[in-house]
Amino acid sequence: QVRLGESGGGSVQAGGSLRLSCVISGVRVNNACMGWFRQAPGKEREQFAIGLIGNDGTEHADSVKDRFTVSRDNADNAVYLQMNNLKPEDTAIYFCAADTRRTGSDGTMCYRRDFMFQHWGQGTQVTVSS
């Protein structure tokens, strides 16, 4: 059974940094496409991952490019989201998700769309004040 657990959220002032972690069990992180999604207050969860990582590399949404970086650690079996220069509009619940049908290698590609992911974490709250 695949399980994902996020941590690292919190409250910071604009311009600050946070590093989110997502520990995975039931699948090796390098045997899946991993994504970070977010849901802002009063809004639906974004349909496209803001950060995506697989064996074919990484991809970031334009809204976070040059500020956020997704990475993974095979030894820890974890995925991370380093968030720098945070803005109030980054306030959201952040979710980690796994697409275990693809790896980004062996003829498969990773996709940012939410319906490509089968497994989700519970989320971690990030609040950025101005």
Please name every residue paired with 69 in a beta bridge, in sequence order, or none if there are none.
82
Q: Pull the structure tokens for residue 87.
A: 């803005």
Query: If you average pLDDT over residues 53-82, what whole number do you get?
Result: 97
Closest CA to 95 of 59, 29, 48, 129: 48
Q: Tell me: the pLDDT tens digits for 18-65?
A: 999 999 999 999 999 999 999 999 999 999 999 999 999 999 999 999
Taking the C-alpha atoms of residue 49 and residue 42, their distance in angstroms, rounded to an integer, is: 18
- In this prediction, residue 16 carries a pLDDT of 98
